[in-house]
Structure 1
Amino acid sequence: MDKELIAMLICPVSHSELTFDRERNELKSSVSGLAYPIRDGIPVMLESEARVMTTEEKLGKAAPAP
């Protein structure tokens, strides 16, 4: 994922910064608690497509992969 693109994107719900999770191929917002998928190299920035993050993820702790 292009770092410049990530820097330009914000969470559509909380308007906060996003972090890239390379392992899960998602953009995460710890403020809203949502993780947006990246499909075919394109971030899907729709709330309806986002995954709700676990409490551990929101706090920045490692969570087990599904």
Structure 2
Amino acid sequence: MEIKNGIIINGVLHEMTSENVPCNQCSLLRICSKSEKEEYDICLCALMNCDGFVNRGKVKIEEEE
């Protein structure tokens, strides 16, 4: 599988999407949010210019030869 835009955190791939993902369904919400009231320290979607992140599950990175 080839992913062009995503973030791997603790072996889990979070892919950027252009689909409209509400903040409360974004897979990186707990990283952005400092409270349950949607007050953010920083919004990764705004920084990365995307509409949300989707959890694609555990990944293993292998080097290509």
State TM-score, norm by structure 2.
Answer: 0.34
Relative contact order (alpha carbons < 8 A, sep ≥ 6): 1 or 2 greater? 2
Larger Rg: 2
State TM-score, norm by structure 1.
Answer: 0.34
